[in-house]
Structure 1
Amino acid sequence: MRILLTGSSGWLGATLAPRLTALGHEVTGLDPVPAAQTRIVGSISDRDLVMRAVRENGIEAIIHSGALHKPNIEHFENTDFVATNVQGTLNLLDAAVACGVDRFVFTSTTSLMISQAIRAGFQGGARKAAWLTEDMSPEPRNIYGITKLSAEHLCRLYHIQHGLPVVVLRTARFFPEADDMADTIDQSDANTKANELLFRRLTVEDAAEAHVAALEKAPQLGFDIFIVCAPTPFQPDDCAALIADAPSVVARYFPEFPGLYTRKGWTMFSSIDRVYDASRARDRLGFACQTSFADVLATLKVEQGMA
């Protein structure tokens, strides 16, 4: 397929573009930042540019991963987020309909699922962890979440009005940067990211593979939304214990974890406040992340000469 990939110069785009090419697709990258995999340098907020990119390259599918993200909030105005995340998505959807694109994959975020009320509960001593699925009605807490949810609604609208097959992927954390709350956590970055694979993280390679799966399944699905996250070992019944004593819950599922962590000099979060349930993607999209917390422990065993 001839694919337009927005955000092609970003962390996900740099992984996804060569993966798509290896599968035999012709990829046209579009991004404001020049990069090897970016053929068109520009913004998706430029409607004429988007229309030309889709029309002149005979685009058959769009993977829309370009956006302003949460870390950009400190440096951009709300109008910038609306122009890129909302108007940019609308431009791409209009171009898709006008040019007969037959599938559209939108990279959204689990961040939009965390409302101010949920955030306050996390910070103020919630009685149990939040078990988060696609069935909840999101109330985003910041401009990033608001604009990503608005873009999701536009995707749904264009499926309803025009029959455009759209798959929305609410990806959990896969960014390489340290967490924005890293200063409050007495852990190495690698330790923190390993812990997060239990409930709110995936690798960028798995994020790319999820987009490949969505691209293939979009016509069959019509419209759907999926949380994409490493598979959690936890169950909803664990949520109270995860708030009170997360290490004991993790040890129930992985009895070898305390010894491996101690020898590594790592620690588990004392409390886990949310769990993203990716079972819908497994059941309907046929996709599950290949890297999980179990793989972290397997690597530690090798490092410690126990494998």
Structure 2
Amino acid sequence: MRILLTGSSGWLGSALAPRLRGLGHEVIGIDPVPSTETQIVGSIADRELVIRTVRDNRIEAIIHSGALHKPNIENSANSDFVAANVQGTLNLLDAAVAEGVERFVFTSTTSLMISQAIRDGFKGGARKAAWLTEAMSPEPRNIYGVTKLSAEHLCRLYHLQHGLPAVVLRTARFFPEADDMAHAIEQSDANTKANELLFRRLTVEDAAAAHIAALEKTPQLGFDAFIVSAPTPFQPNDCDALIRDAPSVVARYFPDFPELYARKRWTMFSSIDRVYDASRARDRLGFVCRTSFADVLAALRAEEGAA
């Protein structure tokens, strides 16, 4: 297929483009930032550029991973987020319908699922961890979440009105930057990210693989939205204990984790406040992340054996 990949210079785009080409697809990358994966330097907020790009390259599928992200809130106006994340998505959808694009995959975020009320509960000592699924009605707490949810609604609308097959992937954290969680300062970056694989993280390789799975399944699904995160070992009935004593819950599932962590001088979060449930992606999309917390422990065991 001839695929237009937005955000091709970003962390996900740079991982996804080579995999797509390896599968025999022709990839045209578009991004405001030049890179080896970007053939068209420009913004998706430029409507004429988007329409011309889709038409002239005879695009058959669009993977829309380009956006302004949460870290951009500090130095970008709300109008910048609307232009990039909402108007940019609308431009791509209009071009897709006009040119007969067969598949549309949109990269969304689990961040939009955390309302201000949920956030305040985390800060104020919530009584149990939040178990988060696609069934909940999101109430985003910032302009990033608002614009990503608006873009999701546009994807749904264009499926309903025009029959455009579209799949939304609400990805958990996969960025390389250090974590912004308050308790992360107590752990190394590697320790923090290992912990998060239990409930709110995936690797960029798995994020790329999820997009490829969605690309393949989009025509059959029509429209659907999925949380994409490493498979959690937890169950909903763990949520009370996860808030009060997360290490004890983790130890029930992984009895040797305390010893392995002690040898690495790592620590587990004392409290886990949310769990993203990716079982719907497993059941309907047929996708499960390859890397999980169990793989982290396997690597620590291997380190110990080689020492």
- Would the TM-score normalized by the shorter structure come out above 0.5? yes
Q: Measure, in 2, the Cα distance between the counterparts of 1:207 and 1:53.
A: 25
- In the other structure, the counterpart of 2:132 is 132
Aligned residue for 2:186? Answer: 186
Structure 1: how far apart are the matches of 2:175 and 2:115? 21
CA deviation after TM superposition for structure 1 residue 180, in Å: 2.0
Matched, 1:61 2:61: yes
CA deviation profile, 1:16-69 (whole Å, cap 9, x unmatched): 000000000000000000000100000000000000110000000000000000
In structure 2, what is the equivalent of residue 89 of structure 1?
89
Is 1:22 aligned to residue 22 of structure 2? yes
Q: Which amino acid aligns with 1:36?
A: T
Q: Percent identity over the alignment?
A: 83
Aligned to 2:113: 113
For the residue of structure 2 that corresponds to 1:63, the secondary structure is strand
Q: How far apart in 2 are the matches of 1:133 and 1:154?
A: 21
Matched to 1:249, the amino acid is V
Matched residue SS, 1:29 = strand
Query: 8 Å contact 2:64–2:106 — kept in the other structure?
Result: yes
CA shift, 1:184, in A, is 5.5
Distance in 2 (CA, whole Å) between partners of 1:82 and 1:108 is 15
Is the Cα contact below 8 Å between 2:184 and 2:192 reproduced in 1?
no
Number of matched pairs: 307
What is the letter of the counterpart of residue 84 of structure 1? A
1:236 paired to 2:240: no
Distance 1:17 1:50, change over 3 A: same
CA–CA distance in 2 between the matches of 1:234 and 1:166?
A: 30
Which stretches in structure 2 are left out of the alignment for 5+ residues?
Answer: none
CA RMSD of aligned residues (A): 1.0
Secondary structure at 1:105 match in 2: strand
How far is 1:181 from its partner?
3.2
Counterpart of 1:141, as a letter, is R
CA shift, 1:305, in A, is 1.2
1:76 is displaced (CA, Å) by: 0.3
Corresponding residue number in structure 2 for 1:100: 100
Give the 5 Å matches for 1:1-307.
Answer: 1-181=1-181, 185-305=185-305
Alignment partners' CA distance in 1, 2:97 and 2:63: 14
Task: State the alpha-carbon separation in 1 of the partners of residues 185 and 147 from structure 2.
Answer: 29
SS state at 2:62 partner: strand
Structure 2 counterpart SS, 1:91: helix
Give the residue type in structure 2 aligned to 1:210: A
SS of structure 1 residue aligned to 2:290: coil
**Contact 2:165–2:221 (8 Å) recurs in 1:** yes
Give 5+ residue unaligned stretches, structure 1: none
User: Normalising by the residue count of structure 2, what TM-score does the alignment of the two structures yield?
Assistant: 0.99
> Do the aligned partners of 2:9 and 2:38 also contact (CA within 8 Å) in 1?
yes
Separation in 1 of the partners of 2:185 and 2:240?
A: 22
Quote the offset at 1:185 in angstroms: 2.7
Name the SS of the counterpart of 1:112 in structure 2.
helix
Distance, in Å, in 2 between the alignment partners of 1:205 and 1:189 is: 18
Q: AA paired with 2:200?
A: R
CA distance in 2, matches of 1:183, 1:43: 36
Give the letter aligned to residue 248 of structure 1: S
Partner Cα separation in structure 2 for residue 236 and residue 189 of structure 1: 27
User: What is the rounded CA distance, in whole Å, between the counterparts of 2:141 and 2:151 in structure 1?
Assistant: 16
Aligned counterparts of 1:88 and 1:19: Cα–Cα separation in 2: 25
* 1:75 Cα offset (Å): 0.6
Amino acid across the alignment from 1:16: L
- Inter-partner Cα distance in structure 2 for 1:296 and 1:53: 42
Q: What's the CA shift for 1:183?
A: 7.3
Residues in 1 aligned to 2:294 and 2:183: alpha-carbon distance in whole angstroms? 27
1:274 CA displacement: 0.1
TM-score, structure 1 normalization:
0.99
Deviation of the 1:193 alpha carbon:
0.1
How far off its partner does 1:304 sit? 1.1
